[in-house]
Amino acid sequence: MIVHSPAPLNAEPPLDRLRASFVTGQPDFYVRTHGEIPTLDAASHRLRVGGRVAQPLELSMQDLRTRFPRRSEMAVMQCAGNRRAELNQVRAVDGDPWAGGAIGNARWTGVALADVLRAAGAPDDPSLHVAFSCCDDVELPGEGRFRFGVSIPMAKAMAPEVLLAFAMNGADLAPEHGHPLRVVVPGYAGARSAKWLAAISVQEAPSDSPIQQHDYKLLPPDITSDSIDWSRGVTINDMPLNAAICDPAAEARVQAGPVALKGYAVAAGRGIARVDVSADGGRNWRQAELEHDPAAPWSWTFWQATLDLAAGEHELVVRAWDSAGQTQPARPDDVWNRKGYLSAAWHRVRVRAD
Amino acid sequence: MIVHSPAPLNAEPPLDRLRASFVTGQPDFYVRTHGEIPTLDAASHRLRVGGRVAQPLELSMQDLRTRFPRRSEMAVMQCAGNRRAELNQVRAVDGDPWAGGAIGNARWTGVALADVLRAAGAPDDPSLHVAFSCCDDVELPGEGRFRFGVSIPMAKAMAPEVLLAFAMNGADLAPEHGHPLRVVVPGYAGARSAKWLAAISVQEAPSDSPIQQHDYKLLPPDITSDSIDWSRGVTINDMPLNAAICDPAAEARVQAGPVALKGYAVAAGRGIARVDVSADGGRNWRQAELEHDPAAPWSWTFWQATLDLAAGEHELVVRAWDSAGQTQPARPDDVWNRKGYLSAAWHRVRVRAD
């Protein structure tokens, strides 16, 4: 793993390793933590469900496993800061300089959040919010020390794909992935998929945690200083269309002739309609072959293409198109923002063919 | 209206007129026809519903009005070729050179297509297609003469927003808008909202009409000649994120000082999260104010901003961001395709301030 920070632990796999398997193993799955990794005992852990519910609940892991139907969903998890490093090349941004590996695709198993909310008698009112409180202590500059918390809108919370997960690829969650219980919100930025989940609250406003109020917002490009008016930011939930070249690696030396390009593409809640690749910086394009599992709409699409490279320097590029005929902006400058989120311009990799 | 072709009639309103009202009046609504406008008698018109249904139906307009619950939906209709003129400036494309006016927002009234399909006992199988056959005769180069026909996937056909509409803004449909009955498929390209509807067929494959098979497909950029391999195209259904400056007009002369910019933005099935405007070709951006009706999720968003223009030439630009943090490509070249569809790059308008 490429470790951006040992404490809190933030690490991502090399891209060729990520692309080696459609389902990302736990050891290869990026780790994004905001504080120390809690050590929790599954036997004594309790989940409280409260707020605007008719029947507050306190549930053990055993309760969750036995009182609710088990559900599995194959889904991508990705950090809102995935590919942030490219924005740093435009102008400096905050946060760890993720390459394209702050993403993974796993089969998550647990129970539907909707089932738990219904058991607690939560009103199915789309104007409400479902807040998650967690066991990890977080420190943010200027915000002090607090427990991690976020929220999602009720309409998404009631969607069948949103899980309270206790397993990943058929095994218990590893400590760094939220053992014993985490939220999985397919399509949303990873920050909403709260780990080490302790409490759920149904409420009229979004979470008042600084993570929800002051972080994970898309700021307009004219905010460049440290003094940030957060009210001008848009809360990041659904993630945009994105694609990356995983192989060959940046600055790789390859043999001149046919070269295989491989990567991923993702379009939260939409399908990938087409993936274009270029060997000349985007002047000429060819279409990649797509590999997708139609039974797993929240998973990613793998793509591959073979391009004929003459000896010399080449700028390889990928861009994806979603099912609404929407495509990605060409340059990182087109999406630059102070916090370095949603870096989703064409992905470019320079290689040399000998 | 700006008439691109008198027969078949294809016309769009000037952009300032379009922007004058959040609900577009029938006389100001763009007209896209593929053949002669049929003259149909509402009293004798019949709609047949057949194919893979348990109970084929033949319905008069009176049957539709009395046997099904009435439904209204405010929704944008837009041509897949809206803003095509800008692609022509990159390399020549087929079709009428629409500016940004091949779009409108109306309150459509009729019955839910889903209710009619259920009355006919159509299986709710998402792999099926719902095909529409119409009364207008169409001629396409190399395809001969045939009745207009298209289809949509069953999953969309069963969505509550999809209507069989007999009224627009409270009045009967005008002849050019499909009198006495048309389909309205919010979010999809206008071509799927078939006018002068005569028959609905539930079937295993998409419509075999050339309009469905060989037209309204997004082709890859390397297809530049007249010999088109249609199998390489992607069927256009959902429309991409788009935005246009409606006022001031291109090449306008304005008074130096504060200048009001106005326009529309649209994101089929998603919300508009932010609209950025620039007076210097996209180097510096400001945010526009948004006007949207939260009770009408399929309608457009109006935006406005005031920019201070010094005397001289200015390139005004708009770009929108949707609720998934996705934005538009910068240049028409980034979205060029042979048929000139889905022209959704940043919209640029040159003006001179005196």
Quote the pLDDT of residue B142: 82
Same domain, B8 and B130: yes
Cα separations in angstroms, B167 against B43, B103, B174, B177, B184: 15, 18, 9, 10, 11
Q: Determine contact: B234 vs chain A, CB below 8 A.
A: yes
Shortest CA gap A156–chain B (Å): 13
Distance in angstroms (rounded) separating the CA atoms of residues A295 and B44: 46
Pull the structure tokens for residue A246. Answer: 């995983």
Element holding A162 (H helix, E strand):
none
Same domain, A60 and A180: yes
DSSP state of A188: B
Of B235, B260, B289, the residue that ends a domain is B235
Quote the pLDDT of residue A268: 81
Same domain, A166 and A263: no
Same domain, A249 and A216: no
Question: Closest by alpha carbon to A332, among A89, A110, A153, A30?
Answer: A89
If you write DSSP's letter for every residue of B4-64 in order, what string do you get?
A: EEETTEEEE--HHHHTT-SSPPGGGS-EE-SBPPP---TTT-EEEEEES-SS-EEEEHHHH
Q: Which domain holds residue B252?
A: 242-353
* Per-residue pLDDT tens digits for B233-283: 999 999 999 999 999 999 999 999 999 999 999 998 899 999 999 999 999
Chain B residues in contact with A241 by the CB 8 A cut-off are: 324, 326
Side-by-side strand order, sheet with B9-12: B2-6, B9-12, B31-32
Quote the pLDDT of residue A168: 98
Q: Determine contact: A353 vs chain B, CB below 8 A.
A: no
DSSP state of A346: P
Beta-strand (E) ranges in A141-223?
A: 144-153, 163-168, 171-172, 182-184, 197-203, 217-218
* Per-residue pLDDT tens digits for A96-127: 999 999 999 999 999 999 999 999 999 989 99
Please indicate whether, in this complex, the C-beta atoms of B234 and A268 are within 8 angstroms of each other: no
Of B208, B235, B262, the residue that ends a domain is B235
Distance in Å from the first CA to the final CA of chain A: 29
* Per-residue pLDDT tens digits for B22-67: 999 999 999 999 999 999 999 999 999 999 999 999 999 999 999 9
Q: Determine contact: A224 vs chain B, CB below 8 A.
A: no
Nearest residue of chain B to residue A238 (CA atoms): B324
Chain A residues in contact with B344 by the CB 8 A cut-off are: 325-326
Q: Determine contact: A128 vs chain B, CB below 8 A.
A: no
* Per-residue pLDDT tens digits for B186-218: 999 999 999 999 999 999 999 999 999 989 999
Q: Determine contact: A294 vs chain B, CB below 8 A.
A: no
Quote the pLDDT of residue B140: 83
* Per-residue pLDDT tens digits for A125-160: 999 999 999 999 998 888 889 999 999 999 999 999
Domains in chain A: how many in total?
A: 2
The CATH number assigned to the domain holding A160 equals 3.90.420.10
Same domain, B226 and B335: no
Cβ-nearest to B323 among A238, A287, A329: A238
* Mean pLDDT estimate for chain B: 97
Q: Determine contact: A284 vs chain B, CB below 8 A.
A: yes
Question: Closest by alpha carbon to B202, among B143, B252, B253, B152?
Answer: B152
Same domain, B62 and B167: yes
The sign one gets for the Cα dihedral A152, A157, A159, A164 is positive
pLDDT along chain A (354 residues), means of 10: 95 98 97 96 98 98 98 98 97 96 98 98 95 94 91 97 98 98 98 98 97 95 89 96 97 97 94 97 97 95 98 98 97 97 98 97
User: Is B91's pLDDT higher than 90?
Assistant: yes
Please indicate whether, in this complex, the C-beta atoms of A325 and B222 are within 8 angstroms of each other: no
Quote the pLDDT of residue B242: 98
Same domain, A296 and A206: no
Please, are residues A228 and A218 in contact by the beta-carbon 8 Å criterion?
Answer: no
Quote the pLDDT of residue A141: 81
Of B181, B208, B235, the residue that ends a domain is B235
What is the pairing mode between strands B242-247 and B103-112? unpaired
The CATH number assigned to the domain holding A248 equals 2.60.40.650
Amino acid at A162: V
Pull the structure tokens for residue A99. Answer: 């390459």
Distance in angstroms (rounded) separating the CA atoms of residues A105 and A16: 15
Please indicate whether, in this complex, the C-beta atoms of B329 and A331 are within 8 angstroms of each other: no
Cβ-nearest to B330 among A234, A276, A329: A329
Same domain, B180 and B255: no
Please, are residues B114 and B157 in contact by the beta-carbon 8 Å criterion?
Answer: yes
* Per-residue pLDDT tens digits for B92-122: 999 999 999 999 999 999 999 999 999 999 9
Amino acid at B256: A
Same domain, A290 and A200: no
Quote the pLDDT of residue B107: 98
Q: How many CB atoms lie within 10 A of CB A194?
A: 30
Quote the pLDDT of residue B141: 81
Please, are residues A310 and A318 in contact by the beta-carbon 8 Å criterion?
Answer: no
Please indicate whether, in this complex, the C-beta atoms of A287 and B232 are within 8 angstroms of each other: yes
Chain A residues in contact with B328 by the CB 8 A cut-off are: 329
Determine the 3-state secondary structure of A225 from DSSP. Answer: coil
* Residue A315 main-chain phi, psi, to 5 deg: -105, 105
Same domain, B186 and B161: yes
Same domain, B304 and B340: yes
The sign one gets for the Cα dihedral A279, A17, A301, A303 is positive
Pull the structure tokens for residue A162. Answer: 């949103």
Quote the pLDDT of residue B102: 98
Please, are residues B304 and B288 in contact by the beta-carbon 8 Å criterion?
Answer: yes
Q: Determine contact: A287 vs chain B, CB below 8 A.
A: yes
Cα separations in angstroms, B287 against A198, A249, B200: 39, 37, 45
Chain B residues in contact with A218 by the CB 8 A cut-off are: 273-274, 321, 325
Same domain, B273 and B127: no
* Residue B66 main-chain phi, psi, to 5 deg: -110, -25
Residues with Cβ < 8 Å from A148, sequence gap 6 or more?
A34, A35, A133, A134, A136, A137, A138, A194, A195, A196, A209, A211
Q: Determine contact: B239 vs chain A, CB below 8 A.
A: yes
